Amino acid sequence: MVFPADFELVRLERLHARTSFDCGEPLVTDWLQSKALQHQDKRLSVTKVLLAPTGRIAGFYSLAIGQVDFSDLPSELARKLPRRALPIAVLAWLGVDLHFQRQRIGQCLVAQALKDCDVAGQTFAFIAVVIDCVNENAKSFYRQWDFAELPGHPFRLFLSAKTLAAIAKGS
């Protein structure tokens, strides 16, 4: 997947016009406008923004690391893993501004976020990429990327590291 011509994906900086971003989902919009830079400054997550040629933020995603308890994993993933908290990559947030929706930018952002996770996974091991969906629409969107539900957590989806590697090889 390729971003539109003249768009640029960069790490979030204070100079980026976060307050003009609105993806139509208040939780996601608020994250970018008021929390993403703070979390990045505290080294809790990294946010990348896709800038349109005008400098407007067309979309973004935030990545972090975390842990998942062994008991929360489906049996086919948990098999042969230690019975303890296990490392995961977290696709913490992703949004596309209303002005840029329906242009496949969301798909491009997910593809790039997964590519970033795959590259990071060559240095820092994790068993899966996990995302907490804000609603049913988000859940449907991520299911097209082979994300599956974690048992007992209908809005928490995972993509195993093995599936991530297979996706990365196909791109």
**pLDDT per residue as tens digits for the range 117-149:** 999 999 999 989 999 999 999 999 999 888 988
Q: Specify the CATH superfamily of domain 8-170.
A: Gcn5-related N-acetyltransferase (GNAT) (3.40.630.30)
Q: How far is CA 166 from CA 76, 96, 115, 118, in A?
A: 17, 26, 11, 10
pLDDT class for 168, splitting at 50, 70, 90?
A: confident
Residue 171: pLDDT over 60: no
Rounded to 5 degrees, φ, ψ at 124 are -120, 110
**pLDDT per residue as tens digits for the range 49-100:** 999 999 999 999 999 999 987 777 777 777 777 677 799 999 999 999 999 9
Q: Any idea where the domains of the chain sit in the sequence?
A: 8-170
DSSP 99-144: GGTTSSHHHHHHHHHHHHHHHHTTTS--SEEEEE-SSHHHHHHHHT
